[in-house]
Structure 1
Amino acid sequence: MLMTVAAATALPAHAQEKREATYTVALNQDNFFGFYPTFNGLIPVNEKVDFSFYGTFWTRPAFGIAGTGDNLWTEFGVGAAFRPNDELIIKPQIGLTSGSLLSGGARGAAGARGGAFGDGIVPSLTINYSGDQFEAEYYGGYYAALRNRNNTSGLDFLHTWVNIGYKASSVVSFGPHYELLSNTRNPGGRANKVYEWLGAYVQFTLPKGFFARFTAGADLDKDNTGDFYKMSVGMSF
């Protein structure tokens, strides 16, 4: 992947001046995943394509072995961001998780388990639109066990969301939000929805790249109780 970085530095000076590398860090929390900081970097390769890398620090102890907080689930990935025009970004990526959530952990000689490198693989697609009056985002990612794909350990998940917002001003935007997490492969049990959220968000975007978003609504899954809520705050620079 370093080749794409080298390619970016080899662009003519006038092309490099049009767009610079950007980096976004965010602090996120919701009532299912808990607290999870994220980062995403974009390095221009040419006028229409960026090299992308990202990571998520999953901190919920239940995603580790025995819920102790050890072997915390960690996700890192790379990809590309295609820019057909100034308003649209299409970003396919491939990620790798390490930990124990998808694979059930690495098995020792005595049957003990610990966190596994290459716990799972995550192909995903993110599409962002930002126009003068409207904004929209789509995300779809498939979390598949890469190790211990058997009838007692491996889990697969589909995670997807979509939201569409109206820009009331250069600072405030709001709109509906839909999100689904589905356990598509569940050894020893049937595939099932983990949650299905429908609600709305409001976002504040300030100069110098600062943003804050709050989202809340109802869980449509009849097997669940309570509402959902999530908050993100971060900065792009």
Structure 2
Amino acid sequence: MKRNEKICSGSPAACLLAVAILANATMPAQAQQFSADLVARKDDTVTAMGTLRVSDGKARIETTALPDGFFLIDTARPAAYFVRPGARVFMDARQSSQLTQMFVPVDPDQPCRQWQAIAQLAAPIDVATWHCQRDGEEMVAGRATDVYRVTASSGPGFVGWIDRARRFPVQIKTADGTVIAVDHIRDEPQPAQAFEIPANLRKFDPQALIRRIQQSDVWVAPPASE
């Protein structure tokens, strides 16, 4: 209390300014929320890949390749799902789309942790051969970004350009030279329900289904290799 009295001992304007500075210093950074389009560019070809929503460590990706559902990524858990509302099921995304392993919310100071965690969800990785390192800074669409390079012996790597303010990669270059950009970014509040799995959906486990089939009378074991 004495500290506040000392700060506010001057003019009312100075007191208000001091209070505002203290409030900004103690309040956590506001979660970045935005929506955007995903566009792929290679040579002279531009392809619309889908749409993106981001809010508070979560991302929702809707792709043109899989129009009957959408992907949900939560880096805090971590988790990545493919949700099919029409079929009333959801499942682990695994390797169904590389987009879920690249376009994830990150800590701009340590983005490699989130990328590695999501990659581990898709398929087991060898941490000894999985590498992620900073590779400088570049301007992308008029904004400064940090460049990171990810390599792995078990799969294709990529280069990511991270917008620190949005805490998200706004551009990815894949191993074959394709550049996927977060385009037409719209900084706007996102509905919380857009990042939730509807309550009436059940989780579908493809491996459990395969095991059930193998234990049934319809399963025919493949011939032993010679």
Q: TM-score range by the shorter chain?
A: 0.3 to 0.5
TM-score, normalisation: structure 1: 0.34
Q: Which has the larger helix fraction?
A: 2
Structure (1 or 2) with the larger CA radius of gyration: 2
TM-score, normalisation: structure 2: 0.35
Q: Which has the larger strand fraction?
A: 1
